[in-house]
């Protein structure tokens, strides 16, 4: 069975701010407008039956997949960003492959992102973690996933499966 990651959905506090960030930092293309959705189907999707919850979303296209931004709440009351320390979150980060990590990090900072640490060049392939305006952590790296696995094998003894 062939499986391919298609998109990730991120809950955000401000759809326009977040969409602008991903457009400016990574060249994302807007695929959908944020139309409010509610009712039994949306309540079932969000595991909130009978709640009256409302979702607005914007789908952003990137090469090979995309990001779905979702603003969820009740009327004007939307969920705040996740401010827990990274180690307490369910999703630690997601990764975007870029041609030039240093340039992408600079674009992300200029667009309102925050570098968690300076670009790391110690592995021979630079990478960095950037927080988007809602605190979602994005790893920027200039290698394929298979190359990243090989890098882990080189730097983490015992990580290669038998």
- Which of 129, 127, 125, 130 minimizes the C-alpha distance to 150? 125
37-78 pLDDT, tens digit per residue, is 889 988 898 888 888 889 999 999 999 899 999 998 887 777
> Is the Cβ–Cβ distance between 142 and 150 less than 8 Å?
no
Identical fold between 7-78 and 81-162: yes
Q: Average pLDDT of 8-25?
A: 94
Residue 88 in this model has a pLDDT that exceeds 90? no
Per-domain residue ranges of the chain: 7-78, 81-162
Name the architecture of domain 7-78. Roll (3.10)
More confidently predicted of 74 and 16: 16
100-137 pLDDT, tens digit per residue, is 999 999 999 999 999 999 999 987 889 999 999 999 99
Residues in the chain: 162
DSSP states of 85-120: -GGGSS---EEEE-S-HHHHHHHHHHTT-EESSSPB
Query: Other C-beta atoms within 10 Å of 136: how many?
Result: 22
Which CATH number fits the domain 81-162, given the four candidates 3.10.180.10, 3.20.20.60, 1.10.260.40, 3.30.930.10?
Answer: 3.10.180.10
């Amino acid at each position: 069975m062939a499986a391919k990651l298609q998109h990730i959905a991120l809950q955000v506090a401000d759809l326009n701010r977040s969409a602008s960030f991903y457009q400016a930092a990574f060249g994302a293309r807007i695929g959908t407008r944020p139309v409010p959705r509610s009712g039994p189907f949306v309540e079932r999707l969000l595991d909130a039956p009978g709640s009256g919850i409302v979702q607005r979303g914007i789908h952003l296209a990137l090469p090979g997949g995309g990001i779905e931004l979702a603003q969820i709440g009740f009327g004007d009351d939307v969920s705040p960003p996740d401010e827990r320390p990274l180690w307490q979150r369910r999703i630690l980060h997601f990764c975007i492959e870029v041609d030039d990590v240093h340039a992408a990090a600079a674009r992300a900072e200029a667009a309102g992102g925050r570098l968690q640490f300076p670009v790391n060049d110690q592995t021979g392939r630079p990478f960095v973690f950037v927080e988007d305006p809602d605190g979602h952590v994005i790893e920027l790296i200039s290698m394929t996933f298979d190359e990243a696995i090989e890098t882990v094998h080189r730097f983490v003894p015992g990580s290669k499966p038998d």
